[in-house]
Amino acid sequence: EPTSIRERLRVVVLARLRCDRQTRDERVYPLLRANQVISELQPGPGSSDDQGPFFGEIMGAARLRERNIKHRELRSAVVDLFAQRQSRISTKVAQLKEEYLTLHERWMEHCARLDDEQKSGSSDEVAVPSGGRATRRSTAILGDAVRSDLEMEQIIASLGVEELTDPSYLAIRNVAKIPDMISVTQGSVQYLFDDTNNILDDPAEFYGASSRSDYWTEEEHNIFMKEFAAHPKQFGVI
């Protein structure tokens, strides 16, 4: 015997399904037909007669013919406009191609001239003997070769003078290191300035005595003056 309400309802439904001889179509069709009859008895909103003349005026033959004429006139103008635009684009592309070819030829000529200069410069170099003692000719060719300590000192001195006078060396030393810029995205800078200059807003308070106990008494001051007069600047004795 079922105990819960759900099981009891299930038993009732199964019993009705076994004993009910009416099919699903027989139950649904009368309700559907009744709803259709009700919908036919209540006519829906029809088209208003007031909109007829306005619709006819818009879609009339005269207005349609006028619009077609305007469209044909505008079509030729639009086609001409696009043709002119395409012609300008083609002309611009041709000019750019010609300019590129001209610049490319000039660049290739410049590269060839540099190659020729490099080849001619390398052929003019004189072979230097790798071994043996240094002669006058080899010394003249090799500027870095020295024959005495005096020449070595002269070369070192010239290098020092060159570093002090050569603009390239001076530029390397004086190059400014520019930090990255801070981007302000939300209307304010999210960074604080880190003061590393050790600035003092109140030097008197910073260097002054921190308490009254730092001051000398009158007796201590007199003793110091007597000892300083007896032993000037000898603070170890004082």
Split at pLDDT 50, 70, 90, the class of 205 is: confident
Q: What is the pLDDT of residue 70?
A: 85
Residue pair 37/28 in contact by the 8 Å Cβ criterion: no
Give me the pLDDT at residue 99, please: 93
pLDDT at 68 over 90: no
| Maximum mean pLDDT: which of 36-50, 55-69, 73-87, 109-123 | 73-87
pLDDT for 159: 80
Judge contact between 146 and 155, C-beta under 8 A: yes
Cα Dmax for the chain: 140
Burial 73-103 (b: 16+ CB within 10 A, else e): eeeeeeeeeeeeeeeeeeeeeeeeeeeeeee
Mean pLDDT value across the chain: 76
pLDDT tens across 108-137, in order?
999 999 888 888 865 554 444 444 444 444
Tell me, what's the pLDDT at 138? Answer: 44
Mean pLDDT of 139-161: 73
